[in-house]
Structure 1
């Protein structure tokens, strides 16, 4: 650093800067004055200046160094603080988890003790596998268990309850085990009582029934706890006879309308029809469309065959009209009130035919048909054809060539329904059947309303809101159907609540306690929520969006109440364990979806979760397993699934795929029955069941005479067979998605189901579901499986079938069909 010299007056300049003589004189005189102790002002000033200068220089040097060091250090500290602090102010994150972060208190010593007790108390064949122990010992708040067919999940689930109750001290009234059907509930209750008895604990039938429930029997007490709803009845279980058990129904989704339910449906229809002008306007085109004779294409084989006799048929038409009217008159079915009995001439291909009357309220002409209960051999005097055959020719010609509004009454009963409806009978409904596009058959209009509303609500949607978001072509009668449904369904719910005691559908109950209405949970006492603290749900792949919303809302409320819900109890906090198999999801047609099980962690967010794969199959041999999995593997599924046969080794029999042969099928059934095998006969259509019963009537009669537990032959639909098994399984009919459903595709998209951009998400889901249905059917077999398929299905001959997945080159299939799809 350079020397710094301050600016000084000349008299104060340092000696070194003065002329030599002055410098010498100054030193000489200064020295003398000093010795004389005299004061020399200039010298003092020079000394002061020297001191100032040297002090300033030294101070500057020291201060610079110290200041530089301190400044650098302070600068570093300031920079460090500024770099570590965010200039943003983020809000706290939202805790959207359904469970607290906790674990079951399972120590290594306790697990060892439980395993020892199970080894001592259960037989060797019932000892859990490593995967089953993982399910039993899961200590996380949520657990999903992928359990394939025959995985032995029931015993494992019972042992889970033994762990919670017997070893951890959880009260049974803090738990709920959910099953879907009456039969599965009954079986599980019995198994629970038996296993607990092995541990020296008596569980009463009431305790077991309170623990093992259906979803519907859990929601009903919630709604009944609300003021004014103490005696509420469920529409689905409504009956003229007293029900001993509110949850005794087998499957609330599978609704077949009984007399008590129809009485309520018809009464609401009658009242709404009288007071709602728009509803009346909507019913008219629906009834005309439904009752109108359905058209036939002119190149249809029946038309081509009968058009040649048009002129001959016209010549005898008035006599035919007389003969048919006589039959209706003798049956007391003609004339019909509301229909004017007058003949109307129609020209068909240049020939004149006649109808029987005119219905002013429907603005349509009326033709009387040949009632199927009449003798088919009846004929007019001198006629070569029977009345029925003549009528069939006329009907075909009108279907092909008549374009006027024409109602063809097929039977005396059909006429009674029309009469009652037109007369405004309060006990009568609309009086006609309707077929929604995509459904396989027609049904009474109000039954169609119930089915469509049920599907929409199972998807977690409101009927009126969903209808308002639908769109149809201008000339599509479904446009009128769904507008009428919207008006009717709101009126029907109000009508049910006005009854004494009030009535409500189960879907409406679930909607009251869904994620859309969390405030309603504040009306519930702790006693109603505590049983939902530890939920164990079987067949979870069959849940609907409506049920999922209720489950999530319930679990969220249980968590929000916190320790107050569990004061003084052994069971604390909450947990969810779900057992399912996405390959066995076969109820999509009623609104269920496997997507909630497949995306379990996303749908039921938890701090930690456990995934268990139960791949051992204790029911079937490996060929049965491999054949079923080969069929279903083309469907979307949870990855990594591959089952293996467990238990005692057995001989391998391929799945036999055969052409439809009712006599051959009957011979095989009798053969297995004589051998003492249990038999399951599964069918898709009731007509197949009735046809086959004719061939195996002797076996059916023998078996039905035995006590129920000793019977070895059971006949049911594919869908009804879940959870069952038999030594030999006979499958009648292919598994095929037969028709597209425009309205279901629309509401599927509204519910957020299916892939983005898929215009037909419901149809896509159903194409996977038919593969899963075949999987369910095949995996009922313990040893033998025979699959009889028709060569062609008239309803959808070219559509994909599950049997298309049969691989003749695989050892687990034996394809005996004469003609196979190339």
Structure 2
């Protein structure tokens, strides 16, 4: 706080000045003498007489008088000036804070340095590239800006077909060959094993043009996936040298080689080796935790219980009319179905007491088949789909299957008792195994978390939900503790059970020999909230992360971002000691991505960290590059894709331009009603013309449906060598990074569910728009637009989109095809 100003002035005196004796004028003569002197003086003046002593005396008197007058005048002038100067005030303001001061914190992840790129070096590298690479592979001005970025951080916005891979390869060549950076000082990160293999091939080919031999081992060490990088870090810790990743159980190479990380970490299907560990943990927890056992019992009863049907439903109204008739033949129907189950070896079932108890349904009596005391629920056996649907009881008009459907509808609408309806023999076997206390078979029932598309085995649902939460950088138990659900919501029981199970599973896996750990937990070990773990790592393991180049950065998750920042912060903390005796110094981060191609939000990824790169990765200076040239597709394909994705939030200033051969012969994207037969005919026409063809589908059922029309082509392709094949069937998601002359899209892109739990954890992770109660669901509405953008931009020359006509509630759901505008030249909309 500043104090009051104070002043310093000059003092002033008002007394008459005192002169020294030699300057003091003499006293006056008496008046008589003065008169005589005046008379005598006038006479002498007329005579022009001179008196020497008087002359000298007068001279001295005048000198004294002049001196005195000069002194008086000078004093008076000086007095005035001094008085004015004394009135001026000298102000001293004290702005120092009263409190104790503390220096600010440097939050930058990087030192303030620049890559040593001289004009001569740039000129030489450009000349070499011009000489050794073909004309069509020469970098554009924007690509050169990316290659020559000299700042600690670089963000490259690269749209579809922008030639980012070649630019990234040249960047590595620059660092290694022209600046002398050691290979073990840098790492290139790709997201999938397929993209890793492709990049290694391209990198090796370009290095060979410079007569540089990059061995396969060196290439694999240089080009990594995030998951293949984290495993060696954990294995370096005491006691974890033989650690196995849960996601790769059952697919390891002999000796537990690091290459086992080649398995796709995003494949959520559970294999036998993984399921064995899940079931063992489940068995032990059921025996050791009464609360967990209670939760499972409740969830099982709710999951297996026949789902209610509204009494106003048309099927109920229609079948209620035959209630009495159905009741009269129900006991014979029970006998017939039990005989079928008995012949199949599926009845009786251990744990189910056979009982023909009756229940009143709409005024008539119907029969159960058994009772499960453990679940306090009645059981009705169903008609297995594998049986002949035309099978009838003797003298019956309707087949057994039709009679069974009527009974089920009536029970759904009018039964008020807890009822388990076993739909088929396999469901019964799972239930039998789960009820056997000595079996390691898991829960034995499926569960559908609200917001998911279908039911899956309970432990699979645990793995999926926990994986999503952890990808968001959250702890499962802590996140569950911050959730809330309406009274009576079964998801509340599910997530309580998950919190108990997940902690037990982590401990169970670590107790194995050798220990097992999920990739998510490995990343969490070295995240920003545990910097002390990173300090345990040797320099040799951190050094390759000093100069990071990451592709497809729009698909990173909050957990990966936390790990990256923690590693970069630790590298900077170690300082020059990490780089002693080496050419490569300091650290840098170059990220390449396209927010329009962010399509993995369902597993916890978010484009936020790419769109807000400078905020998320603080640097003293940063370079931003926009690669807007598209070398793959013509302008109509580009414009159509960008028109579809336009409503989604995006980085400002993005507009791609077709370049080179891709700019020729633009034809519009054709959108037409869904017709599998017509699609197959169009596809075969392009294939016969010699085009490469890509068939994209949204659901596995769509693949099966279209395959019926394309079976001759599929069989033909199987007989060709991989390099000769021109036809591929892929999901919209798995097509990213690929291309074909003609692309056929089957199915719309829609967000069809609402996920209460994902909305909650999304907000916990700080994602989505501020104050949005449905942050995840709204983010998914944007993502379906980006998914369509990815699919359309796979096309080089032709794109055909077959879209179903929405009906019922689907008409009100957000869908990508609603962005198609037939008035635009780049769309040919053939829908009614």
Question: Hey, what does 1:747 align to over in structure 2?
Answer: 761
Structure 1 residue 141 and structure 2 residue 155: aligned? Answer: no
**Structure 2: where are the runs of 5+ without partners?**
1-11, 18-24, 33-68
* 1:512 and 2:517 aligned: no
Which residue pairs with 1:694 in the alignment?
Answer: 708
1:219 aligns with 2:233: no
Instruction: Give CA deviations for 1:72-114 in whole Å, capped at 9, x if unaligned.
Output: 78x53xx3x5468676764211101000011111111111111
- Identify the match of residue 110 of structure 1 among 121, 144, 152: 121
CA contact (8 A) 1:146 1:614 kept: yes
Give the equivalent residue in structure 1 for 2:212. 201
How far did 1:474 drift?
Answer: 1.1
Q: For structure 1, which segment, 350-359 or 119-128, has the greater mean C-alpha deviation from structure 2 after superposition? A: 350-359
CA distance in 2, matches of 1:346, 1:691: 43
SS in 2 for 1:721: coil
- Structure 1, residues 247-299: CA drift from partner, whole Å, max 9, x if none? 54353133210000000000000000101011111111111111011122223
The question of 1:123 aligning with 2:134 is answered yes
Query: What displacement does 1:426 show?
Result: 4.0
Q: CA RMSD in A?
A: 2.6
Determine whether 1:642 maps to 2:655.
yes
Counterparts of residues 521-670 of structure 1 (less than 5 Å): 521-648=534-661, 649-670=663-684
- 3-state SS of 1:791 partner: coil
Aligned partners of 1:134 and 1:242: how far apart in 2? 42
Distance in 2 (alpha carbons) for counterparts of 1:694 and 1:2: 118
Partner in structure 1 of residue 38 of structure 2: none
Is residue 769 of structure 2 the alignment partner of residue 720 of structure 1? no
Q: Deviations over 1:103-155 (max 9, x none)?
A: 11111111111111000000000000111001001000000000000111111
* Deviation larger for 293-302 or 312-321: 293-302
Match of 1:758 in 2: 772
Look up the match of 2:39: none
SS at match of 1:720: coil
Aligned 8 A contact 2:380 2:419 in 1:
yes
Q: For residue 304 of structure 1, report the CA deviation from its aligned partner.
A: 3.1
Aligned match for 1:452, one of 449, 453, 465 = 465
Report the counterpart of residue 312 of structure 1 in structure 2.
325
| Contact 1:681–1:729 (8 Å) recurs in 2 | yes
* Matched ranges for 1:4-403 at <5 A: 4=15, 76=90, 79=91, 82=93, 90-239=101-250, 242=253, 245-403=258-416
Q: How does 1:486-501 map to 2 (within 5 A)?
A: 486-501=499-514
SS at match of 1:612: strand
CA contact (8 A) 1:267 1:426 kept: no
Deviation, 1:314, is 1.6
Alignment equivalent of 1:771, drawn from 766, 771, 785: 785
- 2:830 corresponds in structure 1 to 816
Query: Is this contact kept in 2: 1:181–1:250, CA < 8 A?
Result: no
**Using the alignment, how far apart are the partners of 1:641 and 1:197 within structure 2?**
35
Report the CA distance shift for 1:150/1:574 in structure 2 as closer, same or farther (over 3 A). same
Over residues 634-667 of structure 1, what are the superposed CA-to-partner deviations in whole Å (9 max), with x where a residue is unaligned? 0000011000111124212211111111111111
Q: What's the counterpart of residue 749 of structure 2?
A: 735
Greater Cα offset, 650-659 or 548-557: 650-659
Residue in structure 2 matched with residue 33 of structure 1 by the alignment: none
Superposed displacement of residue 332, structure 1: 1.2
Query: Equivalents in 2 of 1:444, 1:394: separation in Å?
Result: 27
1:467 aligns with 2:480: yes
Task: Determine the C-alpha separation between the residues in 2 that align with 1:234 and 1:241.
Answer: 9
Cα distance in 1, alignment partners of residues 691 and 215 from structure 2: 35
Identify the residue that residue 801 of structure 1 maps to in structure 2.
815
Q: Secondary structure at the match of 2:259?
A: coil
* SS class of match (2:591): strand
Aligned counterparts of 2:13 and 2:154: Cα–Cα separation in 1: 80
**Structure 1 residue 370 displacement after superposition:** 1.1
1:385, 1:533 → 2: CA distance?
A: 74
Question: TM-score under structure 2 normalisation?
Answer: 0.90
Q: Please tell me whether the aligned partners of residues 159 and 628 of structure 2 are also in contact (alpha carbons under 8 angstroms).
A: yes
Per-residue Cα deviation, 1:530-557 (whole angstroms, up to 9, x for no partner):
0000000000000000000000000000
Where 2:262 maps in the other structure, the secondary structure is coil
Compute the displacement of 1:676 (Å).
1.4
SS in 2 for 1:246: helix
Closer, same or farther: CA 511–241 of 1 in aligned 2, 3 Å: closer
Matched, 1:678 2:670: no
Residue in structure 2 matched with residue 711 of structure 1 by the alignment: 725
How far, CA to CA, are the matches of 2:730 and 2:444 in structure 1?
Answer: 31
Shift in Å, 1:703: 1.0
What is the distance in 1 between the residues matched to 2:16 and 2:653?
Answer: 89
CA distance in 2, matches of 1:541, 1:371: 47
Q: Aligned equivalents of 1:662 and 1:482: distance in 2?
A: 41
Between 169-178 and 384-393, report the one with greater CA deviation: 384-393
Q: Distance in 1 between matches of 2:407 and 2:431?
A: 23
The whole-number CA distance in structure 2 between the counterparts of 1:442 and 1:57 is 113
The superposition leaves residues 7-31 of structure 1 with CA deviations (integer Å, 9 ceiling, x where unpaired) of xxxxxxx9999x999xxxxxxxxxx
Conservation of the 8 A alpha-carbon contact between 1:183 and 1:250: no
1:483 aligns to 2:496 (yes or no): yes
TM-score (norm 1): 0.91
Determine the C-alpha separation between the residues in 1 that align with 2:755 and 2:407.
33
Cα distance in 2 for residues equivalent to 1:705 and 1:248: 31
Match of 1:46 in 2: none
Aligned 8 A contact 2:252 2:260 in 1: no
1-structure distance, mates of 2:13, 2:252: 116
TM-superposed CA distance for 1:604, in Å, is: 0.1
Q: Is the 8 A contact 1:429 1:446 kept in 2?
A: yes
Note the residue ranges of structure 1 that are not aligned, 5 or more in a row: 7-13, 22-53
Other structure's SS at 1:219 match? helix
